[in-house]
Structure 1
Amino acid sequence: MIIVCGEALFDVFCDGDAPGGYALAAKVGGSPFNVAIGLARLGARPLYFGGLSADMFGRKLAATLAEEGVDLSCAPRPAAPTALVTVDLDAGGVPAYTLYGTATAERAVALADVDRVPVEAAAIHVGSYCMAVEPVASALRALVTRQQGRSLIAFDPNVRLTIQPDRNAWTGAVAWMLPRTDLLKISDEDLRTLYPDMTPRAFLDLAIQSGVALAIVTRGGDGVLAATATLAPFDLPAVEVAVVDTVGAGDTFQAALLAYLARHGLLNRATLAGMEVRTLRAALDFAARAAAITCSRRGADMPRLAEVDPQH
């Protein structure tokens, strides 16, 4: 059982000009929302812990998660609207995000809601801007504190300064999480945003010294850099793919890595810390291949297990 914590929202894309404005396409999204669906499509058993509104957007988010096989039994249903985020893609397909609304359902998760989450969870994934806005950030910290040592704690900062512009809120979240995280995944873009003077290898050293069992930096076309408590940083080349856009690529990588670890009985701190390089490379390769499939199509269209591992 893997619990995915954080935001579900609607991504709004421009489909071109229309008389007097733009033609828009609204798509279900949010980094943790994507991770939950990615896990379900890859054969894992995810539960979603995030605020879901009763408005038309929230009902669609809940229905989509349920249809994909995500358990919603511990998801709070606050009386607040769904967050809407515009996605503006540049010429290379790289997205920029702008949030509309702040008193929204994903932020309204409270400390009392933590009791909804099963104590016996195998893993807890937290991340994205719900770790940097209140009151949800305090609720997720309380959950991490409760589950540390009971569940594997996975963290992906997924920094969005257009949504939470206070850089200190992000660096504070990372600093708080590092000694409590077993599996850390961060992009090189996030590193440049938060720590412009720190190299990926230096950050991996910091993460491992802080107590992280497995730390990973994803670098797009430059591949993946990873390290554990017993393995020095090493590179994994990128999977070649014709990129349509990169929306959801990082979420796919995280979901695929967690799903692979769960499927192979590797989803615990001690195993990650002592993993042999061949085993770790196989897990990272699976995650990279899954992310490449997402990059080959528009939006966060996460792959299914048969697409990533046809022989499964």
Structure 2
Amino acid sequence: MIIVCGEALFDVFTDGESAAGFALAARIGGSPFNVAAGLARLGTAPRFFGGLSRDQFGRKLAAALEREGVDLSCAPRPDAATALVAVDVDAEGVPAYTLYGSATAERMVMPADLARVPEDAAAIHVGSYCMAVEPVASTLRALVARQRHRSLIAFDPNVRLTIQPDRAVWQAAVAWMLPMTDLLKISNEDIGHLYPGMAPQAFIDHALAAGVALVVVTRGGHGVLAVTAALAPLDLPAAPVDVVDTVGAGDTFQAALLSWLSRHGLLARTALQALDARTLREALAFAGRAAAITCSRRGADLPRLEEVARRWQLPAEPAAQS
């Protein structure tokens, strides 16, 4: 099983404007929420470990995850409100995020809640701003420390300086995570936020030296760069697509990559270390195709396995193991 850890929230979009104000459209979201739903849509049944409020928004989030086939037996239900995040999409389809709310449900995940998480999980995915706000950040670090050498540890920093503006907090979180991480997916924007002026290859070298088995850097329309200690960097172009917006594209990529690895029996550190170039290229191409579909529609509407197969005329793959 894959355990996806972190926030579930509502993304709020402007859906029209008048002299008196804005019409708003609220959509279920949050990076880990998207990864969990994406895994389920791609045939891998995940469990979600994140705080879900009992308010109307939290009930909607829980119902949406369950409808997708995500197991919520791990998810705490704290007595706190659901976070709301305003999404401002620019002319290029690139979103900016502003969080409304504090002490919200996704943050109220405590060390005692770790008893909910099975120790025999095949993989633990962590990331986004829950790694940079307390008390949930400390709880997730404790989970990673417990599961290291038991589960594959996947990490996507998904840096949001509008939510946690202290860059040093993000840097500390990444510095702590790198020696614990087997699969790191990070965007070139995240690298720029974390270490202004650092080239992607310099960060890759740093991550490999820290002990990461597979480093994947997504670069939007410029494709993806991936490397292991045993392989020269692979540079793949982005799949062609008419972009509506890029909300959820990185989450789709991560979900698709984890799903593909699970489907092919490669969800382990030793398997990542032994990847050959052809296999890694196939995994990245699948993830890139899935992300392109998400970019072709508004919001984080992640594709199903049959959509990825149909759009690029690929044979449908067998169902993945959970």
TM-score range, shorter chain: over 0.9
- The Cα offsets for residues 30-76 of structure 1, whole Å up to 9 and x where unpaired, read as 00000000000000010000000000000000000000000000100
User: Do 2:218 and 2:224's aligned partners in 1 also have CA atoms closer than 8 Å?
Assistant: yes
Q: Read off the aligned partner of 1:205 and give its amino acid letter.
A: D
Where in structure 2 are there 5+ consecutive unaligned residues? Answer: 317-322
User: Do 2:41 and 2:305's aligned partners in 1 also have CA atoms closer than 8 Å?
Assistant: yes
> In the TM superposition, what is the alpha-carbon distance from 1:196 to its structure 2 partner?
1.4
Counterparts of 2:191 and 2:263 in 1: how far apart (Å)?
Answer: 30
Q: Read off the aligned partner of 1:138 and give its amino acid letter.
A: S
Matched, 1:253 2:247: no
Counterparts of 2:145 and 2:229 in 1: how far apart (Å)?
Answer: 22
- The Cα offsets for residues 99-150 of structure 1, whole Å up to 9 and x where unpaired, read as 0011100000001101100101000000000000000000000000000000
Matched, 1:304 2:304: yes
Residue aligned with 1:17, SS: strand
User: Do 1:247 and 1:295's aligned partners in 2 also have CA atoms closer than 8 Å?
Assistant: yes
The number of residue pairs the alignment matches comes to 312
130-139 vs 189-198, greater mean Cα deviation:
189-198
Q: What does 1:237-276 correspond to in 2, within 5 Å?
A: 237-276=237-276
2:217 match: 217
1:196 match: 196
Counterparts of 2:274 and 2:174 in 1: how far apart (Å)?
Answer: 23
Counterparts of 1:36 and 1:64 in 2: how far apart (Å)?
Answer: 11
Counterparts of 2:54 and 2:45 in 1: how far apart (Å)?
Answer: 24
1:108 match: 108
> In the TM superposition, what is the alpha-carbon distance from 1:234 to its structure 2 partner?
2.1
TM value normalised by structure 2: 0.96
Residue aligned with 2:208, SS: helix
Residue aligned with 1:309, SS: helix
Residue aligned with 1:138, SS: helix
1:187 match: 187
Matched, 1:281 2:281: yes
User: Do 2:127 and 2:157's aligned partners in 1 also have CA atoms closer than 8 Å?
Assistant: yes
Counterparts of 2:260 and 2:307 in 1: how far apart (Å)?
Answer: 14
User: Do 2:36 and 2:47's aligned partners in 1 also have CA atoms closer than 8 Å?
Assistant: yes
> In the TM superposition, what is the alpha-carbon distance from 1:14 to its structure 2 partner?
0.3
Residue aligned with 1:254, SS: helix
2:207 match: 207
User: Do 2:234 and 2:281's aligned partners in 1 also have CA atoms closer than 8 Å?
Assistant: no
> In the TM superposition, what is the alpha-carbon distance from 1:19 to its structure 2 partner?
5.3
> In the TM superposition, what is the alpha-carbon distance from 1:197 to its structure 2 partner?
2.4
Residue aligned with 2:162, SS: coil
Counterparts of 1:304 and 1:75 in 2: how far apart (Å)?
Answer: 24
> In the TM superposition, what is the alpha-carbon distance from 1:232 to its structure 2 partner?
2.0
TM value normalised by structure 1: 0.99
Q: What does 1:32-181 correspond to in 2, within 5 Å?
A: 32-181=32-181
- The Cα offsets for residues 138-192 of structure 1, whole Å up to 9 and x where unpaired, read as 0000000000000000000000000000101100000000000000000000111
Residue aligned with 1:245, SS: coil
Counterparts of 2:202 and 2:232 in 1: how far apart (Å)?
Answer: 12
Q: Which runs of 4+ in 1 moved over 4 A?
A: none
Residue aligned with 2:161, SS: coil
- The Cα offsets for residues 178-228 of structure 1, whole Å up to 9 and x where unpaired, read as 000000000000111111121101111111111000001000011100101
Identical counterparts, % of pairs? 74
Residue aligned with 1:196, SS: coil
Counterparts of 1:232 and 1:197 in 2: how far apart (Å)?
Answer: 23
Cα RMSD (Å): 0.7
Counterparts of 2:50 and 2:124 in 1: how far apart (Å)?
Answer: 12
